[in-house]
Structures are given as structure tokens and as C-alpha cells.
Amino acid sequence: MRNRDAVRRGFTLIEATISLVIVSVVAVAGLSAVSVARKSRTSINDMILARMYADAVMAEILGKRYRDALEPNNPLGPDGSDDVMWLWTRVADDVDDYDGHTITPVSDANMRPLSDGQWGAGIGVSWVDANDPTTIVSEESGVKRITVAVFKGNRVILRARALRTLGADQMKAVATP
């Protein structure tokens, strides 16, 4: 009789195994939730940094004149006399000089880094239809769309777009041919 009471009071191997499985499932679920929260936080931080970098690059570009005063009829991209990257500074004198340019790490016009080496910005400039800025055109339209793609490593985090018009130069009293 005494042996039966002793057996009834202890855990069986099956009960211990089931308990272990339940605890393991709860632990895995908890670790998964922590991992998702960490990835979300990293993603949000990357988006904030990417927006800051895109705004800095875009402000630099939008501060330039619409087109080169010396060579107004040149196609998009750096003109013959331009050198977008110089020893200590970027010397682009108009918006389209930035077309096809990549800045790694993201830096200001004086080449002071704003980011570490894994961050960069690719820039594209295109003429767009003045009535429909989503439509790219192949000739001068008076409106240029600037796209700044901020990337980290080999992954684009954010694309920012802005329009720059020839009329903006006239409003700012910038010499434009």
C-alpha cells in the first residue's frame, strides 16, 4: 500500500516531458516577440536617419540654380566644365550636375561626413512634364525631378523626390539664361 502512495505523489516521465514542451514553446514565443520588436526599432531608426540624410542632400541640390548659366543648353548631368567631386568640396553649380552621382558616405557640400561608410545616397535628375510631373520627358521642360535614394549597405531605405523649376530661379533672382 505504501508503494502506491509514493508513486501517486511524483511526476511521471510523460508529465515532465509535457511540462518541458510547454515551457519551451512559451520561451520561443517570447524570444520571437523580442526579435520582432528589435527589428522594428532598427527599421524605424534607419528610416529616421535616411530621412535626415535625404533632406540634407536634397537641400544642397535645391539650393543650386536650375541650369548652368554658362552652358544653358547642355543635357542633364555634369557639363564639360564641371567637376562634381573636387578634392575637398562638391563644386556642382546647377541641379542637373548631380544626375547619376553617388555620395558615400553621405556628406555635406564641404565633404564633411554626415554618416558612416555603410550609408550612401544615389541621385537622379530628369526632366518631367510640367503638367504631369510623374511623366519623364526627353527634352527641356522647365521642370526637373530630383530623386535621392538613400541606401544602407546594398538596400535602399528611402527615396525622396522634389521638383525644381526654372521659375524658382526667377523668383529667387538667380542669374539664369
Q: 61-116 pLDDT, tens per residue?
A: 998 888 766 666 666 766 655 555 554 467 777 888 899 888 889 988 778 888 88
13 CB-contact burial (10 Å; exposed 0-12 / middle 13-18 / buried 19+): exposed
pLDDT of amino acid 13: 83
Name the helix (H) or strand (E) containing 126.
strand 119-127
Grid cell listed for 56:
540634407
121 phi, psi to nearest 5 deg:
-140, 130
Q: What tens digit of pLDDT does each residue of 43-76 get? A: 889 999 999 999 999 999 998 888 766 666 666 7
Tell me the pLDDT of the chain averaged across its residues. 81
Residue 120 above 70 pLDDT? yes
- Distance (Å, whole) CA 83 – CA 129: 28
Q: Residue 114 corresponds to which amino acid?
A: L
Q: In what order do the strands lie in the sheet with 155-165?
A: 102-103, 119-127, 143-152, 155-165
In contact, 143 and 119? CB cutoff 8 Å = no
Alpha carbon 95 to its chain centroid, in Å, reads: 19
pTM confidence score: 0.71
140 CB-contact burial (10 Å; exposed 0-12 / middle 13-18 / buried 19+): middle
- Which residue carries 534607419 as its cell? 46
